[in-house]
């Protein structure tokens, strides 16, 4: 039931247009269902506005990406909580760990605190993880044991097939994995691209 959230997406992982001036001209096809991820706090109002404009097509995700984990602060935490409680269908993303870019200590704090918020509001989470799958598993397991683990989507999964089975057991689904995954792993499609107008 929890992972049912991730059904029906035509693009399970997208981002805002590079240029905010493009937001107003954006159009989406009637059948589109897009999970639109933030990477920094400055994205939040744009994501909320697009989700409000296309309530049937855009599911908003608010969060601080691991590359920008140093921007996580008490104020950003308050802001995130506000967007999660005030925005219909809000989810959390894109959050996670990245051993190839950014500060591991800041990332772990930002990630765990954002997972806490997801657990508290019972909203799904979109995860980014690069070369930190052991740590990711440890953190998710901790939340699972505490019965606070929200439904999660691992985007562009690049870990091992064996570890994927563990994430699947914890209730995770995958979008565009970098390798073949065992049959018990549910896979959905994503673009990981900036939204563009679909009108032409
Ligand atoms: Zn992304």
Domain of residue 104, CATH code: 3.20.20.140
Report the pLDDT value the prediction gives residue 193, as an integer from 0 to 100.
Answer: 83
Residue 18 lies in a domain: no
164 inside domain: yes
Give the range of the structural domain holding residue 151, as residue numbers without chain letter.
Answer: 32-188
**In the structure encoding, which two tokens stand for residue 25, read together?**
């001209």
- Inside any domain, residue 23: no
**Does residue 135 lie within any of the structural domains?**
yes
Distance of CA 31 from the midpoint of ligand 1 (Å): 22
Gyration radius from the chain CA atoms: 16
Separation between Cα atoms, residue 166 and residue 186, nearest integer Å: 12
**Cα(86) to centroid(ligand 1), Å:** 23
Q: Which pLDDT belongs to residue 130?
A: 96
What pLDDT shows up at residue 196?
Answer: 72
pLDDT for 199 equals: 40
Give the distance (Å) from ligand 1 centre to CA of residue 142: 25
CA of 27 to the centre of ligand 1 (A): 20
91 within 8 A of 126, measured Cβ to Cβ: yes
Global confidence as pTM: 0.94
Output the pLDDT for position 3.
Answer: 55
Asked if the structure places residue 134 within a domain, the reply is yes
Q: Where are the alpha helices (DSSP H) in 62-193?
A: 74-86, 104-121, 133-145, 161-169
- Say how far apart CA 131 and CA 100 lie, in whole Å: 7
24 within a domain of the structure (yes/no): no
- The size of the chain, in residues, is 200
Q: Which residues contact 166 (CB under 8 A, 6 or more apart)?
A: 137
- Predicted confidence at residue 1, as pLDDT, reads 40
**Domain presence at residue 115:** yes
- 192 Cα to the center of ligand 1, angstroms: 5
What's the total number of domains in the chain?
1
The answer to whether residue 5 sits within a structural domain is no
Q: Give CA–CA dist 178/133, Å, rounded.
A: 14
pLDDT averaged per 10 residues in sequence order, the chain, 200 residues: 75 93 91 95 97 96 98 98 97 97 97 97 96 97 96 94 96 91 89 67
């Amino acid at each position: 039931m929890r992972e049912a959230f991730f059904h029906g997406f035509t693009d399970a992982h997208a981002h805002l247009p590079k240029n905010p001036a493009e937001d107003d001209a954006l159009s989406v096809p009637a059948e589109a269902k897009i999970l639109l991820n933030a990477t920094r706090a400055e994205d939040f109002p744009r994501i909320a506005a697009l989700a409000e404009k296309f309530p049937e097509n855009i599911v908003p995700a608010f969060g601080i990406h691991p590359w920008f984990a140093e921007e996580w602060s008490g104020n950003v935490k308050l802001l995130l909580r506000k967007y999660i409680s005030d925005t219909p269908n809000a989810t959390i993303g894109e959050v996670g760990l990245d051993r190839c870019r950014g500060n591991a200590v800041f990332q772990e704090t930002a990630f765990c605190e954002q997972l806490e918020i997801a657990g508290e509001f019972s909203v799904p989470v979109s995860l980014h993880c690069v070369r930190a799958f052991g740590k990711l598993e440890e953190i998710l397991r901790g939340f699972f044991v505490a019965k606070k683990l929200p439904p999660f989507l691992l985007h562009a999964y690049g870990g091992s097939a064996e570890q994927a089975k563990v994430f699947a057991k914890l209730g995770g689904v995958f979008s565009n994995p970098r390798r073949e995954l065992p049959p018990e792993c549910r896979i959905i499609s994503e673009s990981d691209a900036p939204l563009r107008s679909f009108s032409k």
